[in-house]
Structure 1
Amino acid sequence: MNPTRRTLFKAALAGAATPALAAGASAKPCPPPLPQHNHGVEGQRVADLGNGMFLNPIVSGDHPDPTILKDGDDYYMTFSSFNAYPGIVIWHSKDLLNWTPVTAALTQNIGTVWALDLCKHGDRYYVYIPALPPGKGWGTYVIWADDIAGPWSDPVDMKLDNCIDPGHAVGEDGKRYLFVNGIRKVRLTDDGLATDGELEPAYSPWRYPEHWITENFAPEGPKLLYRNGYHYLVTAVGGTAGPVTGHMVIAARSRSIHGPWEHCPHNPLVRTLSEDEPWWSRGHATLVEGPGEQWWMVYHGYENGYRTLGRQTLMEPIEWTDDGWFKALGGDLSQPLPAPQKPANYNSGTFALSDDFSENKLGIQWSFDSPKVAAEQRARYGDKRLLLTADGNGPADTSPLTCFPADHAYQVEVNLDIEDDAEAGILLFYNHKAYVGLGFTKDVVKNYQYAEEHPWAAVQIPSRSVRVRLINDKHVVTYQYSHDGGKSWRTHPTRMEVSGIHHNVFGGFLSLRVALYCSGEGQVALSDFTYRALS
């Protein structure tokens, strides 16, 4: 970053981080209303405020454990995809603020996928994947591609068991290594597709004071970079969820990939200190050099009052100090921050969630939760419709088609044309033990609450062809349906409040997703899916 831009950046940051008190204000004023986001084509929150500032999150909705790669002037990022297939969606940006999905790199079901590492070595891209196949223990896999847009290889089992959160690094000896939770490391073969040695302890992380309120110590998420003669190791400790003050970011450095590692004197670099902050449980960070030579820290956090949205992707600036360390500069992220330098004529816009089903968005927008078969065996596109084949006997044992909402309040609509003896419907789906929604059959409108059908709340209306609307207004869910193409609407008599459907209640580190399902015998034709954020 040139000296002039650095001075302007610091001045803007100081103004953003420490707003002045109004004349006559008390020493402890009531907090002002939070700044407002710009809004995209569907009213979605947009981080880029368009005035040289931005407001977190940079990717809203459930995008946890971000791993980010700088590749020339391009940036690529992906996230934990858990039970979603196609999964491991890779996103692209030129300015770290405006992101669009490129491809889903994983189509073969290898089980639950946790925190990944996306990297490039030579001319080849790699994603290192911890996964938990059904009925087995944790394994480590790798996929690779010569083009970030694919095709990506099938998963290669690295025979590295009982590890999560891999982080790729290259040592001063030119050899490749994988760091994992613990914090441990193992040498890799030159092609990066197998281990070449034994897993061994790598770093004993910095310990926070015992009286701090955390979930557990849990050293995980090691991310490494090499700069000015040092290997820097950025680690998460304190537990991912649980108390909001638990998760945090720490760092260490060493001249050698083999250590010894020196604790950063500024630890912890990031930590939520109070439930009053807008972002909770902040951690799992990667450092990246942005446009204009400004450096940034990208990590995740839960939004105050909206754990249902999952862990969202956050970013704050860092400053390298004269002693070769770095400091985080963003504070609690409640205020706008100076934006990264934007390339000329670049504006990627907002990724729209509305879908007329004229093109295949499986993996890019839609994914099956815990699919029993490959996506193409259950979903077929044709004439602006998606034909979804029935699976299971109801929401409790089907693999629903899901997408991620991004806002505090939103409305979705979709046409359902149900064939044969199928049941189809719309859900807010956390997992198979936590969902709410409506199901439509040839005889009745079913109501699902607390992950079970409530027959007393059913409505006796034949519904082979219906347009259904789901409104989630800050956790209060209302259902409406129309049998005349949206000219008139009937409000379902049962509403739900869903603020408690999140990880700290149900586990799994997931989020409350919009889901479309089809069960029984037959299929449903989906058409004209629309998403709109509400003020």
Structure 2
Amino acid sequence: MMIARRGLLAGLGGVGAAGILPFHSSKAHASAVGTGGDSPARYRRGFDNQRIPDLGNGIFLNPVVSGDRPDPSILKDGKDYYMTFSTFDAYPGLTIWHSRDLVNWRPLAPALTRNIGSVWAPSLHKDGGRYFLYIPVKASKGNDIFVSWADRITGPWSAPISLGLPDHIDPCHAVAEDGSRWLFLSGGDRVKLSPDNLSLAGEVEHVYDPWRYPSDWIVEGFSPEGPKIHFINGWYYMITAVGGTAGPPTGHMVIAARSRSLHGPWEHHPANPLVRTSSVDEAWWSRGHASLVEAPDGSWWSVYHGYENGFWTLGRQCLLDPVEFTPDGWFQMTGGDLSSPISKPAGGTAVQHGMALSDDFTGPLAQGSKWSFFKPDVNEADRVKSGGGVLRLAGKGEAPSSGSPLLLTAGDRSYRFECDIELAPEGRAGLVLFYDEKLYCGLGFDKDRFVTHQYGRERARPANPHGASMRLRVTNKHHIIIYDTSGDGGQTWHRFDRGMEVSGYHHNVRGGFLMLRPGLYAAGPGEAKFRNFKFTALDD
């Protein structure tokens, strides 16, 4: 059964006369994730008690990759599957993930190490035995789309090459029936590529006018973006996102068109939209930016992103939806609102899912696959020395806003993280929950006083009884933030007399398409020392 048909959506049940969408709590969402009965299915737990999708009995729960994993670009390469996501201002970025069954995924290594701007909706492809990444960026010195290539998926990847496309985002590589190479772009446009895929061979041309939804639907804006091209059974299928990426939960949607030729003409899918959140009661909001992929057993699936009900703070997470082709050559998504467990595709072998976020700092820092800097400078990596159980982080700036904090991507609704911190003389350091340089919270200290980070500003500075060394702990329990401090390595904890509520630390308040990420920072002169970083996801 396909959801989000035109008749179902036009009324948007529960929308008030003024067009206001009622908010539904995370408690209501949690009870909706189940098998259809009174006993909801529960996530299995992996590294650091983090939720994992594979329930171990032939079924899985979405998301398949949790946390901020937007704009998934997936590549089937023999028995292997590779996927990457938008990483925006986090560097190293564009980590490649690997799977053998589409449900269990593990990170490999980052493909982009030099800060070239905010990375939006990359596209991963293989052509002629070589891997390609097309990388759109938003940058103060000018927007562009870059291409990087590698002979092995794990790299080394070439330095990004500018294509000179400042007015488009969301590229997708495609090969036409005549062997020509093309890059499809936002807005229904495309441009011809050179045979080696590394430069343009023509001018941008408009080739497709996307299907339009009814004018009374509640959306963020038309915004045709994220084209994905697939050649299946003699048809070229173009899958596009319209309706805006965030904003109202009912805005983002998946539409499709097809053609016998990559050069068109394109015929709209008669059941558009194929995916759309129809109510704020659903488990996943703003679903869109879809691709098709064939599973090991020959079945077809779609990966796309969505916001978890009540948890915009986690960013857009990666979802997996079963696909069924119909006798007329069209296809439909069959997973409904993705709130219930779904049978896994058969075949393939499961890799160990995810990674530990805890870190004992006994070896080199896992930059890109685990840790990343926010808006780093060219030599940002020189600030870090990890080994022997200690992370040494040179101070930068005066606060997290100017200090390029070192951050993780956490995908659970509730979690706790803690760390031993030792200051340099006159230095400052602490733990943060960081959206961007203007919106973050956390707790830091110098040798005499604490500093509370609230709403992206530095506020109260109560006395610090522990001196230049202490263990800090931050708990995020469904958006409620609790701070604890310890002067004896965590044997005795003292509740800090200031908490936070951070459900509004997200894109629909601040913009930027990011997530609220846990991490650490060091400011001022010298270097701070961090030891025994422990992350623990908390059961809901």
TM-score by length of 2: 0.91
The residue type equivalent to 1:508 in the other structure is G
Spell out, residue by residue over 1:159-180, the C-alpha distance to the aligned partner (whole angstroms, 9 max, x if none): 1221101111001111110011
Are 1:493 and 2:493 an aligned pair?
A: no
Partner of 2:279: 274
Describe the shift of the 1:463–1:32 C-alpha distance in structure 2 as closer, same or farther (beyond 3 A): farther
Shift of 1:136: 2.5
Where do residues 38-49 of structure 1 align in structure 2 (5 Å cutoff)? Answer: 38-49=44-55
Q: Secondary structure at the match of 2:392?
A: strand
Partner of 2:144: 139
8 Å Cα contact 1:85-1:375 kept in structure 2: no
Q: Which of 508, 528, 533 is the aligned partner of 1:529?
A: 533
Are 1:450 and 2:455 an aligned pair?
A: yes
Partner of 1:87: 93
8 Å Cα contact 1:158-1:195 kept in structure 2: yes
Q: Which of 389, 398, 401 is the aligned partner of 1:396?
A: 401
Once residues 446 and 149 of structure 1 are traced to their aligned partners in structure 2, the CA distance between those partners, rounded to angstroms, is 41
Shift of 1:37: 1.0
Once residues 259 and 463 of structure 1 are traced to their aligned partners in structure 2, the CA distance between those partners, rounded to angstroms, is 69
Partner of 1:295: 300
Q: Secondary structure at the match of 1:58?
A: coil
Are 1:223 and 2:224 an aligned pair?
A: no
Are 1:248 and 2:253 an aligned pair?
A: yes
Partner of 2:18: none
Where do residues 89-238 of structure 1 align in structure 2 (5 Å cutoff)? Answer: 89-133=95-139, 135-238=140-243
Once residues 129 and 145 of structure 1 are traced to their aligned partners in structure 2, the CA distance between those partners, rounded to angstroms, is 14
Q: Secondary structure at the match of 1:396?
A: helix
Shift of 1:40: 1.1
Q: Secondary structure at the match of 1:48?
A: coil
Shift of 1:527: 1.6
Spell out, residue by residue over 1:173-215, the C-alpha distance to the aligned partner (whole angstroms, 9 max, x if none): 1111001100100000011111100000021001111111111
Q: Secondary structure at the match of 1:42?
A: helix
Shift of 1:458: 2.3
CA RMSD after TM alignment:
1.3
Once residues 79 and 48 of structure 1 are traced to their aligned partners in structure 2, the CA distance between those partners, rounded to angstroms, is 21
Spell out, residue by residue over 1:490-529, the C-alpha distance to the aligned partner (whole angstroms, 9 max, x if none): 1111000000111000000000000211111111112211
8 Å Cα contact 2:94-2:111 kept in structure 1: yes
Where do residues 291-370 of structure 1 align in structure 2 (5 Å cutoff)? Answer: 291-344=296-349, 346-359=350-363, 360-370=365-375
8 Å Cα contact 1:138-1:164 kept in structure 2: no
Once residues 444 and 351 of structure 2 are traced to their aligned partners in structure 1, the CA distance between those partners, rounded to angstroms, is 40
Shift of 1:31: 8.6
Once residues 237 and 451 of structure 1 are traced to their aligned partners in structure 2, the CA distance between those partners, rounded to angstroms, is 32
Partner of 1:3: none
Partner of 1:18: none
8 Å Cα contact 1:214-1:242 kept in structure 2: yes
Shift of 1:447: 0.8
The residue type equivalent to 1:467 in the other structure is R
Spell out, residue by residue over 1:385-427, the C-alpha distance to the aligned partner (whole angstroms, 9 max, x if none): 2211111111221100000111111111111121122111111
Q: Secondary structure at the match of 2:146?
A: strand
Once residues 103 and 463 of structure 1 are traced to their aligned partners in structure 2, the CA distance between those partners, rounded to angstroms, is 38
Shift of 1:381: 1.7
8 Å Cα contact 1:249-1:283 kept in structure 2: yes
The residue type equivalent to 1:73 in the other structure is K
**Structure 2 gap segments, 5+ residues each:** 1-35
Partner of 1:423: 428
Q: Which of 497, 500, 507 is the aligned partner of 1:503?
A: 507
Identical aligned residues as a percent: 52
Once residues 40 and 89 of structure 2 are traced to their aligned partners in structure 1, the CA distance between those partners, rounded to angstroms, is 34
8 Å Cα contact 1:80-1:116 kept in structure 2: yes
233-242 or 522-531, which deviates more: 522-531
8 Å Cα contact 1:445-1:463 kept in structure 2: no
Describe the shift of the 1:226–1:73 C-alpha distance in structure 2 as closer, same or farther (beyond 3 A): same
Shift of 1:154: 0.6
Q: Which of 460, 465, 469 is the aligned partner of 1:465?
A: 469
8 Å Cα contact 1:34-1:334 kept in structure 2: no
TM-score by length of 1: 0.92
The residue type equivalent to 2:104 in the other structure is N
8 Å Cα contact 2:447-2:464 kept in structure 1: no
Describe the shift of the 1:342–1:476 C-alpha distance in structure 2 as closer, same or farther (beyond 3 A): farther
Once residues 42 and 495 of structure 2 are traced to their aligned partners in structure 1, the CA distance between those partners, rounded to angstroms, is 31
8 Å Cα contact 1:421-1:442 kept in structure 2: yes
Q: Secondary structure at the match of 2:297?
A: helix
The residue type equivalent to 1:124 in the other structure is R
Describe the shift of the 1:100–1:185 C-alpha distance in structure 2 as closer, same or farther (beyond 3 A): same
Are 1:520 and 2:521 an aligned pair?
A: no
